[in-house]
Amino acid sequence: MKKEETKRKTSEEQFRIPNSEFRISNAERRTPSAFGLYFHVPFCAAKCPYCDFYSGRDLSLIPAYVGAVKDELATLRRVSPFVTEDVRERETASVYFGGGTPGLLPPETLDELLRCVRAHFNVDPNAEITVEVNPTLKNREAFFASAAAAGVNRISVGMQSAVEAELKALGRRGSPSDVAETVRAVRAAGIGDISLDIMLGIPGQTPETLRTSLDHALSLLPTHLSIYILKLEEGTPLYARRNRLDLPDEDAAADLYLFACRYLAEKGMRHYEISNFCFGGRVGRHNLNYWRCGEYLGIGPAAHSYVDGKRFFFPRDLDAFLAGEKAVFDAPGGDSEEVFMLALRTDTGVDLPAFTSRFGLTPGRGFYETAAAFEKNGLLVNGGGTLRLTDKGFLVSNSIIAALLAAL
């Protein structure tokens, strides 16, 4: 056996997840009407130069933020009139603390917030409760022990890369061993669902360095990986330096994505959404609800919501949120285009007969011809009336979806 094959076999054995770790996800089969709660925690210890998520560095405002969130859970005054009291009766199937850096919350705060959530909402005892953390999290053991005791059952770690030069190019603090230590502490606390974020298209990244990152991630036996392509957001320091960066061009970034898809499929991961992969049935139920056009209520500055057919959001302004400013209307939601577009992001795709009968649509010849052309090019699969994008199709999903919708 060649050296390379030996190496690959060893790593396959090393990374194989035992069958007992797989589980069939009933939650995944739930109706699209699952309800989720999202909390945007708008604090970061330092700002990463590529990131345009809303967050500030004044950690002294954390107590006031927690107080405002609890006030909102109790009164719903900032989200009225978009939300009425009956929202409290919906079965809350997922709770997600994102940011920003929720790991900056004092350990006891998650318990305080989750008690408040349970006091005011109808939370499913088996709800998925996720917290995003950075690998540089301080007091890991205390934080995860407290999170587990509060009912948190899923942790998402912002790993991004296992290559020091790439972390440096991204301006990320922390090291691959910090990621390993974080995962170890999560597991020691008894939290079994672990997701790692990995970035593609980092300056200087190659298939070899990406493989190093994927191998490091897989060696930690996560249940889930999210793989995002770096987007240069206007207004960020990285955007300002864009002409001086050794960024992979569009083709190279596409090759990295397809390499990751192939590699993770070989390792037994299911590619269930454009950017998301899981072992067994361990999908991210909170985010899957977004792609199923399910309802969610977002609390905190920059948090978005979709309830009763209306999309609304809080402005990116912590002071305004603390002062009690109300959420603002965004747009109506849940129309046929949105449902179609979101469903095609997932590997379950669009069940065409169910979709057309739900929205009273009758696709004409043009639609089927457009779909057939994409199928011929290996971008789409039509399996007995269910349309699904291939990995290559995911890469150009926006243009495929636009063309199909135009022909519908």
Chain contacts with ligand SF4 (rule: CB under 6 A): 44, 47-48, 51, 53, 55, 99-101, 134, 158
Task: Please give the structure tokens belonging to residue 337.
Answer: 């285009």
Contact between 132 and 193 (Cβ < 8 Å): no
Measured CA to CA, the distance from residue 102 to residue 96 in angstroms comes to 10
- Whole-angstrom CA distances from 150 to 95, 153, 255, 359, 390 are 12, 9, 42, 42, 39
Nearer to ligand SF4, 278 or 302 (CB): 302
Nearer to ligand SF4, 51 or 113 (CB): 51
Q: How far is the CB of 172 from ligand SF4 (least distance, A)?
A: 7
C-beta pairs of 396-400 under 8 Å, 24+ apart in sequence: 397/274, 397/344, 397/345, 400/344, 400/374
**Residue closer to ligand SF4 (CB basis): 49 or 363:** 49
As measured in angstroms, the least distance from the Cβ of 313 to ligand SF4 is 17
Nearer to ligand SF4, 48 or 210 (CB): 48
Q: Between residues 59 and 221, which has the closer beta carbon with respect to ligand SF4?
A: 59
Looking at beta carbons only, is 48 or 352 nearer to ligand SF4?
A: 48
Give the whole-angstrom CA distance, residue 160 versus residue 213.
Answer: 8
Minimum CB separation of residue 348 from ligand SF4 in Å reads 29
Rounded to whole angstroms, the Cα distance separating 370 from 400 reads: 9
Closest CA to 54 of 64, 41, 66: 41
* C-alpha to C-alpha distances, 38 to 130, 207, 300, 374, nearest whole angstrom: 10, 35, 9, 36
Shortest distance, CB of residue 173 to ligand SF4, whole angstroms? 8
Least separation in angstroms between residue 158's CB and ligand SF4 is 6
CB of 199 to ligand SF4, least distance (A): 10
Residue 307 has phi, psi (to 5 degrees) of: -140, 135
